[in-house]
Amino acid sequence: MRALEVVLPGVVEPEGLELRHRDLPPPGPGQALVRVEATGVSFAEQQMRRAKYFDQPPFPFVPGYDVVGVVVATGPGVDTGLTGRRFAALTKTGGWAEHVLLDAADLLPVPDGVDPAEAESFVVNGITAWQMLHRVARVTAGQTVLVHGANGGVGSTLVQLARLAGAEVVGTASPRHHDAVRALGATPVDYRDPRLARRVRELAPSGVDAVFDHVGGPGIVDSYRLLAPRGVLVAYGTASTRDVRGSSRLPVLKLFARLALWNALPNGRRATFFNIWAGRRDRAAFRARLADDLGAVLRLLATGGVRAQVAARVPLREAARAVALAESGTVTGKVVLVP
Domains and CATH numbers, the chain: 2-121+308-338 (3.90.180.10), 125-273 (3.40.50.720)
| DSSP H helical ranges for 150-219 | 153-164, 178-184, 196-203
Backbone angles phi, psi at 125, to 5 degrees: -65, -45
- pLDDT averaged per 10 residues, the chain (length 339): 96 97 97 98 94 92 98 98 98 98 98 97 98 98 98 96 98 97 98 96 98 94 97 93 72 91 96 96 97 98 97 98 95 95
Return the pLDDT at 241: 78
Return the pLDDT at 224: 98
DSSP state of 61: B
Asked if 326 and 335 touch (Cβ cutoff 8 Å), the reply is yes
Return the pLDDT at 246: 66
Per DSSP, the three-state class of 2 is strand
Return the pLDDT at 238: 86
Return the pLDDT at 2: 92
With residue 118 as reference, give the H or E element that holds it.
helix 116-120
Report the predicted TM-score, pTM, of the whole model to 2 decimal places: 0.96
Q: Which residues, in sequence order, are CB contacts of 260 under 8 Å at separation 6+?
A: none
At CA 296, angle to CA 91 and CA 306, rounded to 5?
A: 100
Q: Report the alpha-carbon distance of residue 169 to residue 143 in Å, rounded.
A: 9
Return the pLDDT at 38: 98
| DSSP H helical ranges for 165-241 | 178-184, 196-203, 220-225
Q: Which residues, in sequence order, are CB contacts of 180 under 8 Å at separation 6+?
A: 151, 156, 173, 332
CA–CA distance from 226 to each of 132, 188, 198 (Å)?
18, 16, 9
Q: Report the alpha-carbon distance of residue 62 to residue 17 in Å, rounded.
A: 10
Among 131, 108, 132, smallest CA distance to 120 is for 108
Q: Report the alpha-carbon distance of residue 141 to residue 165 in Å, rounded.
A: 6
